[in-house]
Structure formats: structure tokens, C-alpha cells
């Protein structure tokens, strides 16, 4: 099997810090590969080397001839003065360029150019490609093509960059944390897209469900070395455990033998003669081998927390609007000790605003938020914290506490606590400016936990954290006796931690679901399937309504809606056929497109009302 990319004996260091040494790997066509390592081990550096944005200190990278690489960086480079369509369709691909020109002509209502470009679209068979592009943009919630990049949020910019990479259909797709800033529905769509597409993929991600469902090969960097696993994430966990267990067993034998050899050298004068030289040399090699034990993080973080009283947090009849955008509408809830609540919902539905309201960073329009006297809040925010970059890691942590008390009455030092969170003694005395983005997020998280909160509020805590740190954090939260609220798009993390969900549906509609994310998603998909079956089912004859809650007026509206929906769906099919037939004039094409857009909006509204009445009817 020929490789698209081949890395041979590459080494990379920054000053005295060696990231990896003499590692080799290859990526073959149609492989879906994940790169896993701790923060700061060089994952993003490898991606930059493969995309020729960086160079190794030694070794070589070879590429198959005429290979086209698409790269999604953690911090995408976009021109702020460009529009969304100019950045999204920024491509050398002739068909993508043509579709961009066509969309711009439609927006400018340039009928002559539309006619000419329609003929070009016919010749290049570009219509199917346009449908695919529109699907990608729609799923990533990119709808305003002519908005300036400088007006977009960080998450919107990431989605534009992701759309651009997917639209270009490269030979190999390299993605650095592709699920960051995507909501859960977008992540699930991206999973399906990557699984169904004929794509070669290399990615760095901390999303373990995503890894499990998309990848068929895992590359791990551990202690500057590289290990390869030909399977998904579950296979990787199993084989990695076996590797570490076997390695530690070998090293334990080496340590036992080392002790015997040390005793022999200490008690035997002839050990210093030339006859025993071979044994002394073997002792030196054995000593080196025995010092290489792999240390896994198995310490439970049972930090003592401040005692919680009976009253935790009461939210009473809270309202909050931002202009016409409703966030909360008469929302009430009493929190209990030990509750672990997950918050999910699409972007813009008010999840972070809700956290800021309950922490009094934003005042509600009406109602009140009342914390108990014993509550100590720890609030981990998306924007993080500004560090003193020239400060040492250990000095930063000691500003919060030099000693951390544990539940069993014992205590650990700030240095030991740093080691719990995978900061080696060497890293502790490094300056913060030398840390990776993920390591800084880890340090920020530690500063929150060291304040001994009994009410934790975590807004996207898994962003930029490596998988090893996530295991440590999950273990801590599972044993945390206080109350926890988490906003996260990490489904694996949510399933392991939360016991129920607040589902933000938008327009102040919040559903309290008893269960974790996977349970919610299963119920949600079942409900959607059932609703679609009801919606598409033809009504053979009028039904007699006997439900007392269903008034005559509602019955009349329900019957009328069924007739309207049938007509609207019929017209929708006609318009779609006309638009894709290419037999209409440019003026007719514009008119049909506008009508279809209005019709789809009306259909959504009518279908939602039909579903409301349908639930009432039953």
C-alpha cells in the first residue's frame, strides 16, 4: 500500500525541550488516523510539520506527487475584510470558484451573468457539487454568505474555516481539534460526513466518542516515542493498558535484578577487576533500564471541600431578554447537594448567559437568584484567565495555596497537586509562557479547584485539554460531593459525569431531562422519528376527536393544517424540481429560489404548530 505521507526519523525540540525524537509513521489512502498525546507533547507541531508550516530538526517528510492537503488549524487564518463566501469558497478548485461566482451573481441579481454562469455550471456538472456545498454550510449554520469575517464570533470563524476545508475536498484532511466550537448536532453530523466520505484523515481531538466512531488508526506520542494502534479509540485503550502493564512488569524485574547486582558490587572486591568488567557494564545498562518506569496517573483527587448546608441555590421566576432574544422566561429551580447537571443546546440559546446570571455577573430582568450561606462557587469560564507569562508555574499555583487538604485529613503540597495534573517537576519550574494552550487551560482549571469550592460551574472545561487530563478531571468530578453545573459539547465527558440535563431549545424553552446525554439523544431521535412518521402519514379519513382538551376550534385548525401542509409540500417539490432542472430563465430562477426560501420558513412554522396540536390531540 503506497503512502500519501511518510515521516522518517523526525525530531523536534524547542531549546532544551525535546518534543519527540526519531519518530516515523505513514498515512495511507482512506486511513482515518488520530494523533494522541498529552498537552505540550507536540501534536500541533507535527501537524504544522506535515503541512509545511514548520520543519523538523532532523529527519524527512515525503509526500505523494500532486497531493492536496486541507488543514484546519486551531486558530484559523482568515482575512477579516473578506466576506463569508470569499473565505469559504477560497479555493484553487475551478468548480468551487464557479459556484462562488454564481452565488455572488444571484446576490447581486445580475441576470445576464446568472444566465452565463448557469451554462458554465451545466458544462462542468457543478449542480450536484453545489448541493453538497450548501449541505455543508447549512449543517455548520453558515447562512449569511455576505457577512464580513471581522463581525463573526470565534466559533463562527472556526466553522467557516472548517467549511472551507471540507468544500475543497483535499486528498488528505488534517484537522486540529475539529469539534471545538461545534454544538452536539454539528459534531454528530461531522462524524457521519467523515465516515461516509471517501477521505484520508489525520486529526487531533480530545472528543473520545468522535475518535471511537471515526478513526481506524491511532498514533500515540508518549515520552518522546511513538506507538501505533490499528484500531479505534476503544482498541487503543485496551492495547495501551496492555503495553504499559507489560512494560512496567519488565521494569519491575529489572529493578529486582538491579538490587541483586548492587549487593554483589558492594560486597565483592573482585567486582573492580577486569574479569568482572562485563558485569559492571551490564549493571550500568540495567540501571538505565530500571529508571524508565512508566508512571500513570492513578491518584484520586479527593480534595476537602467546604461543608454545604441544606440551602444550595434557589432560582425563582427569573426572566431575561437581550432585545428580542429570550433567554429565560419564568425559570425556577432549586439545586440540591451532589447534583451534577449538564447544559446542552445550540449556539446562541443562552447557555453561557444562564451561567452568568446565576453567578450574578448578569442581572436578570425579573426574579431572583439566591445562594445558600455555605456555598463557595468555583467558576471555570471559556475565556480563561490572563497569566503573568514570565511567572513560574509553581509560583502561580502557590498564590492560591501552598498546601491542599484532602478528605482523609492528610494534605499534599502545591508541587504534588501539580503532579496530579500531569505537571512534571521540570515543567513546574518553567515559565508559563512556555506552556501550550492546553497546559495553560489545565493550570487555570487547577486554580479553580484549589479554592476548595463546593459548587462548581464549568463552561466548556474540556476544550483544549488532552485525553489524559480529562481522565483525571472525570475522576475528580465523579468523587466530588458538591454540586456541579457543566456546559460541554463533549458527549463522553457528559455521559461520565452528569445525572440530568437542562436542554436549551432556544427562545427560553428549557427542558429538564432526567439522564445523561446519550440517553437524551436516544429519546430525542425516537421522538423525531415518531413525529416524522405522523407527519408523512396520509390521512385516509377524518378522525373523530373525543379528547376533552381538544376544542372544536383546535380540531378545525388541525384539519385545516393537514390540508395546508399537503399543498405546501407539493409546491416545495415543484419548486425544487424547477430549480434543479436548469430549464428556467435567470429571472425565473431568482423568483423560484426566493419563493422556496419563504415556503421553507412557512413550512417549519406550520409543521411546529401541527406537532403541538398533534400532541394535544393525543
Q: What is the pLDDT of residues 83-99, one digit of tens each?
A: 888 888 888 888 888 88
Given a cut of 90, whether residue 456 has pLDDT beyond it is yes
| Of 438, 500, 494, 426, residue with least CA distance to 464 | 438
> From the centroid of its chain, how far is CA 424?
27
Lowest mean pLDDT among 15-24, 113-122, 189-198, 293-302: 293-302
DSSP category for residue 236:
H
What pLDDT is attached to residue 116?
86
Give the pLDDT confidence of 247-275 residue by residue, as tens digits.
Answer: 777 777 766 666 666 665 666 655 455 54
12 pLDDT band, cuts 50/70/90, is very high
Q: What is the pLDDT of residue 589?
A: 63
Q: What is the mean predicted confidence (pLDDT) over 72-91?
A: 88
Q: Over the stretch 364-402, which tens digit does the pLDDT of each residue have?
A: 999 999 999 999 999 999 877 788 899 999 999 999 888
- Identify which has the larger pLDDT, 611 or 149: 149
Distant-in-sequence, close-in-space partners of 576: CB < 8 Å, separation ≥ 6: 596
Q: What is the pLDDT of residue 242?
A: 87
**Residue 148 burial class via C-beta count within 10 angstroms: exposed 0-12, middle 13-18, buried 19 and up:** middle
Cα three-residue angle 244-248-254, rounded to 5 degrees: 150
Euclidean distance between CA atoms 274 and 228, whole angstroms: 43
Instruction: Give the pLDDT score at 10.
Output: 95
Output the pLDDT for position 587.
Answer: 66
- Retrieve residue 158's grid coordinates: 472556526
CA 83 to chain CA mean position, Å:
26
pLDDT exceeds cutoff 80 at 160: yes
Size of the chain in residues: 618
pLDDT at 297: 46
Coil/strand/helix, residue 169: coil
- Cβ-defined contacts of 552-561 (< 8 Å, 24+): 554/613, 554/616, 554/617, 555/617, 557/609, 557/613, 558/610, 558/613, 558/614, 558/617, 561/606, 561/609, 561/610, 561/613
Sign for the CA dihedral angle at 581, 586, 590, 592 comes to negative
DSSP 41-108: SSHHHHHHHHTTSS--SEEEEEE-TT--EEEE-SS----TTSBHHHHHT--S-HHHHHHHHHHHHHHH
Contact yes or no for 187/179 (Cβ under 8 A): yes
pLDDT for 493: 93
Q: Could you tell me the pLDDT band of residue 51, with boundaries at 50, 70 and 90?
A: very high
Q: What is the pLDDT of residues 204-246, one digit of tens each?
A: 999 999 999 999 999 999 888 899 999 998 899 888 888 888 8
Assess whether pLDDT exceeds 90 at residue 125.
no
pTM of the model: 0.74
CA distances 543 to 341, 533, 539, 617, Å, are 42, 17, 9, 11
Instruction: Give the N- to C-terminal CA distance of the chain in Å, as an integer.
Output: 59
| Per-range mean pLDDT, top range of 166-170, 384-388, 605-609 | 166-170
The answer to whether 220 and 229 have CB atoms below 8 angstroms apart is yes
554 sits in which H/E element = helix 552-581
**435-448 mean pLDDT:** 88
What pLDDT score was predicted for residue 298? 47
Q: Report the pLDDT value the prediction gives residue 280, as an integer from 0 to 100.
A: 57
C-alpha cell at 586: 435567470
pLDDT at 70: 92
Higher pLDDT, 17 or 398: 398
Interatomic CA distance for residues 379 and 359, integer angstroms: 8
Position 540 pLDDT exceeds 50: no
Identify the burial level of 218 via C-beta atoms within 10 angstroms of its C-beta, where 0-12 means exposed, 13-18 middle and 19 or more buried: buried
Radius of gyration of the chain (CA): 29
Better pLDDT: 462 or 542 = 462
Q: What is the DSSP string of 424-479?
A: -HHHHTSBGGGS-HHHHHHHHHHHHHTT--SEEEEESTTTT--HHHHHHHHHHHHT
What SS3 string covers 315-367? EEEEEEEECCEEEEEEEEEEECCCCEEEEEECCCCCHHHHHHHHCCCCCCCEE
**416 confidence band (pLDDT: 50, 70, 90):** confident
What dihedral angle (degrees, nearest 10) is formed by the CA atoms of 448, 450, 456, 459? Answer: 20
Express as a percent the part of the chain with pLDDT over 70. Answer: 85
What pLDDT sits at residue 586?
60
Write out the three cell numbers for 70. Answer: 486541507
User: Tell me, what DSSP letter sits at residue 303?
Assistant: B
Model pLDDT for residues 489-503, shown as the tens digit of each residue: 999 999 999 999 999
pLDDT at 504 over 60: yes
pLDDT, one tens digit per residue, over 565-594 is: 888 888 887 877 776 665 666 667 667 766
CA distance 490 to 174: 20
Backbone angles phi, psi at 104, to 5 degrees: -65, -40
- Rounded to whole angstroms, the Cα distance separating 591 from 597 reads 10
| pLDDT, position 269 | 59
pLDDT score for 246? 80
How many angstroms from the chain centroid is the CA of residue 70?
19
Report the alpha-carbon distance of residue 415 to residue 392 in Å, rounded: 12
**Given this model, what pLDDT does residue 149 score?**
92
Q: What would the mean pLDDT of 333-356 be, rounded to a whole number?
A: 91
- β-pairing, 483-487 vs 455-459, is parallel
Greatest mean pLDDT among 156-160, 346-350, 555-559 lies in 156-160
Using DSSP's 3-state secondary structure scheme, residue 423 falls into coil
Amino acid at each position: 500500500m503506497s503512502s500519501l505521507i511518510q515521516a522518517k526519523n523526525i525530531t523536534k525540540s524547542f531549546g532544551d525541550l525535546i518534543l519527540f525524537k526519531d519518530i516515523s509513521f505513514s498515512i495511507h489512502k482512506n486511513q482515518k488516523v488520530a494523533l494522541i498525546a498529552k498537552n505540550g507533547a507536540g501534536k500541533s507541531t507535527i501537524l504544522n510539520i506535515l503541512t509545511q508550516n514548520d520543519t523538523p530538526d532532523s529527519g524527512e517528510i515525503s509526500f505523494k506527487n500532486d497531493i492536496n492537503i486541507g488543514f484546519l488549524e486551531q486558530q484559523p487564518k482568515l482575512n477579516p475584510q473578506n466576506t463569508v463566501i470569499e473565505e469559504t469558497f477560497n479555493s484553487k478548485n475551478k468548480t468551487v470558484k464557479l459556484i462562488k461566482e454564481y452565488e455572488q451573481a444571484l446576490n447581486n441579481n445580475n441576470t445576464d451573468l446568472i444566465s452565463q454562469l448557469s451554462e458554465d455550471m451545466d458544462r462542468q456538472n457543478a449542480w450536484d457539487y453545489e448541493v453538497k456545498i450548501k449541505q455543508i454550510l447549512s449543517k455548520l449554520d453558515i447562512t449569511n454568505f455576505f457577512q464580513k469575517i471581522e463581525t463573526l464570533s470565534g466559533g463562527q470563524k472556526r466553522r467557516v474555516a472548517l467549511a472551507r476545508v471540507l468544500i475543497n475536498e483535499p486528498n488528505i484532511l488534517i484537522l486540529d481539534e475539529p469539534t471545538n466550537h461545534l454544538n452536539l448536532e454539528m459534531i454528530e453530523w461531522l462524524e457521519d460526513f467523515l465516515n461516509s466520505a471517501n477521505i484520508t484523515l489525520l486529526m487531533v481531538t480530545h472528543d473520545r466518542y468522535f475518535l471511537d466512531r471515526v478513526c481506524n488508526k491511532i498514533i500515540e506520542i508518549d515520552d518522546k516515542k511513538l506507538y501505533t494502534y490499528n484500531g479505534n479509540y476503544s482498541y487503543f485503550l485496551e492495547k495501551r493498558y496492555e503495553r504499559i502493564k507489560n512494560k512496567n512488569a519488565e521494569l519491575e524485574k529489572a529493578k529486582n535484578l538491579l538490587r541483586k547486582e548492587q549487593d554483589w558490587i558492594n560486597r565483592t572486591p573482585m567486582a573492580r577487576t577486569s574479569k568482572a568488567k562485563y558485569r559492571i557494564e551490564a549493571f550500568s545498562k540495567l540501571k538505565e533500564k530500571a529508571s524508565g518506569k512508566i508512571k500513570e496517573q492513578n491518584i484520586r483527587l479527593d480534595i476537602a471541600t467546604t461543608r454545604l448546608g441544606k440551602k444550595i441555590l434557589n432560582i425563582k421566576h427569573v426572566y431575561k431578554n437581550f432585545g428580542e432574544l429570550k433567554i429565560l422566561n419564568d425559570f425556577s429551580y432549586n439545586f440540591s447537594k451532589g447534583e451534577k447537571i449538564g447544559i446542552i443546546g445550540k449556539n446562541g440559546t443562552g447557555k453561557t448567559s444562564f451561567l452568568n446570571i446565576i453567578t450574578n455577573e448578569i442581572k436578570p430582568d425579573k426574579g431572583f437568584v439566591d445562594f445558600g450561606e455555605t456555598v463557595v462557587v468555583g467558576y471555570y469560564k471559556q475565556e480563561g484567565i490572563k497569566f503573568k507569562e514570565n511567572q513560574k508555574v509553581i509560583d502561580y499555583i502557590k498564590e492560591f495555596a501552598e498546601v491542599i487538604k484532602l478528605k482523609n485529613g492528610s494534605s499534599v503540597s502545591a508541587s504534588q497537586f501539580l503532579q496530579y495534573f500531569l505537571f512534571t517537576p521540570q515543567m513546574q519550574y518553567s515559565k508559563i509562557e512556555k506552556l501550550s494552550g492546553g497546559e495553560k487551560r489545565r493550570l487555570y482549571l487547577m486554580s479553580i479547584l484549589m479554592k476548595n469550592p463546593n459548587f462548581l460551574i464549568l463552561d466548556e472545561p474540556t476544550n483544549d485539554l488532552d485525553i489524559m487530563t480529562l481522565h483525571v478531571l472525570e475522576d475528580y468530578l465523579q468523587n466530588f460531593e458538591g454540586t456541579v453545573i457543566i456546559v460541554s459539547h463533549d458527549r463522553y465527558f457528559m455521559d461520565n459525569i452528569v445525572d440530568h440535563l437542562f436542554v436549551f431549545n432556544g427562545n427560553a424553552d428549557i427542558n429538564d431531562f432526567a439522564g445523561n446525554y446519550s440517553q437524551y439523544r436516544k429519546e430525542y431521535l425516537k421522538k423525531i422519528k415518531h413525529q416524522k412518521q405522523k407527519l408523512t402519514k396520509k390521512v385516509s379519513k377524518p378522525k373523530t376527536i373525543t379528547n376533552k382538551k381538544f376544542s372544536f376550534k383546535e380540531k378545525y385548525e388541525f384539519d385545516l393544517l393537514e390540508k395546508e401542509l399537503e399543498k405546501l409540500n407539493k409546491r416545495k417539490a415543484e419548486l425544487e424540481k424547477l430549480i434543479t432542472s436548469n430549464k428556467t430563465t435567470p429571472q425565473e430562477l431568482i423568483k423560484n429560489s426566493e419563493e422556496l426560501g419563504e415556503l421553507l420558513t412557512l413550512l417549519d412554522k406550520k409543521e411546529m404548530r401541527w406537532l403541538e396540536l398533534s400532541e394535544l390531540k393525543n
